[in-house]
Homo-oligomer: A and B are copies of this chain.
Amino acid sequence: MHSALVIGTGLMGTSVALALRARSVTVHLRDVDVAAVRTAASLGAGTPQAPAGAVDLAIVAVPPPLVGRVLADVQAEGVARHYTDVASVKAEPQNDAVALNCDTSRYIGGHPMAGASRSGPLTARGALFEGRMWVLTPTADTTTETLNVALELVALCGAVPVLMEASAHDRAVALVSHAPHVVASLVAMGLEKAEERAVSLAGSGLRDLTRIAEADPRLWLDILSANAGIVADLLEELGSDLEQMILGLRAMAATDEAKRGSGAEIVEGMLRRGVAGRARISGKHGIQPERFEVVTVTIGDQPGELARLFTDADRAGVNVEDIRIEHATGQLAGMVHISVGQGLADRLKHALQARGWR
């Protein structure tokens, strides 16, 4: 790929542009918002000038509801040989493209699984997609040539391509992203009017659970709007499970012993299924969570404590797989949870103790 046109210079479009520029692709930028194009260009994402002829690939980086319309327009202009988009839902844009008589043989949908918590070109960075999954959703007649150009785009951005049908993609992201996002928002909502004293007891579990609820509501409204039906279906399933759970808990609160027992059975069964479901997404590199061991170290809040800790961990010759830092409200000290490979925790623990860590 030698040349590309990025249409829509928000977070995603500008990040793609920066990644392509870093790999010496000529990038042209276009946006209805002139200020956004200027910002993206000043970040080094490419030139605001229109290309002289057709570029190799046009990347439509506009909100999901607009993808079909914009694709139809730029195809009518003939700005590129191949077309893709980066919207986080895929069926609706594809249906729109068909309805608007786009050339779907030259188009393939795309969804890089990265960065959606803030928006705008200023938050863009070329490394946004490194190591991330990038789902590609071919239409019924996408040509192999178009697919290959899209695969090249994914490779240039350092991402990992995954091919899926548009509707399968939308069901999958509804399950692993959209519906959970809504649930996190609902739980966080429950804290809005709560007493300060109650809120002050919140721990890292609740903070982790609600982290995604921090994201920009406007952005998520666009995402949810293009996948609303599927997300609603999933939330209804969750609602039935929730009702079951409530029934179980009510039975557990009963005075009748037999009733309490049957309630406990329901609740425990659901908690166990939760453990089983969670096990499917734990760990990294596809490794199961039980392959890791955790060493917990207490640190002060001085600059350099972490550097010292990791230098010491490094000297022990143990590779750190993951880290979680935990601070209690109102306290300066923190706990650092260091995940290491199976069988390495003791070695790390002894090495750190020998260097004075607790």
Contacts and interface: CB of A to CB of B under 8 A. Distances in A.
A250 interface: yes
A267 B224 contact: yes
Classify chain A: how many residues form its interface, as a range.
35 or more
A275 B232 CA distance: 20
A148 B220 CA distance: 51
A58 B113 CA distance: 54
A186 B241 contact: yes
A210 B280 CA distance: 11
A336 B199 CA distance: 28
Interface of A is mostly: helix
B191 A177 contact: no
A144 interface: no
Interface string A325-358: 1011111111100000000000000000000001
Interface in A260-298: 260, 263-264, 267-268, 270-282, 284-286, 289, 296, 298
Interface in A139-182: 160, 162, 164, 168, 171-173, 175-177, 179-182
Contact of A284 (B173, B176, B250, B329): B329
B277 A191 contact: yes
Interface in A293-340: 296, 298, 301-304, 306-311, 313-314, 317-320, 322-323, 325, 327-335
Interface of A: 113, 125, 127, 130-133, 135, 160, 162, 164, 168, 171-173, 175-177, 179-192, 194-195, 197-203, 205-215, 217-218, 220-221, 224-225, 228-229, 231-232, 234-239, 241-243, 245-246, 249-250, 252-253, 260, 263-264, 267-268, 270-282, 284-286, 289, 296, 298, 301-304, 306-311, 313-314, 317-320, 322-323, 325, 327-335, 358
